Amino acid sequence: MKANSLYRWTYIQWDAPKYPTGHSINIGGQLGTFCLAIFGILYCVRENRVRAAGKRDHRLEGLSEHEQMKLGYLHPRFKYWT
């Protein structure tokens, strides 16, 4: 498949030369991606604060040390990068 054929349904010939349909779809996709990225960052910041406050410590109750190590990202001391 040629690279040009991938864009035929957004950048249609009768929209030339401004291509409002193609640009609108691309800008909408970029805005959606930006919003998802901001949401992900804010979620990680919030989750790190909750863990620092000790609200996830209940996950360790009744677990052996080996089981605690296997929790991975669910362990209360795990911190997300932001």
Between 11 and 3, whose confidence is greater? 11
Q: Chain-centre distance of CA 82, in angstroms?
A: 12
Residue 60: predicted pLDDT: 97
Give the global pTM. Answer: 0.77
22 and 12 Cβ atoms separated by less than 8 Å: yes
Residue 44: enclosing H or E segment and its boundaries?
helix 20-52
37 — pLDDT class (breaks 50, 70, 90)? very high
71 and 59 Cβ atoms separated by less than 8 Å: yes
Of the candidates 51, 44, 46, the residue with the CA atom closest to the CA atom of residue 81: 44
25 and 10 Cβ atoms separated by less than 8 Å: yes
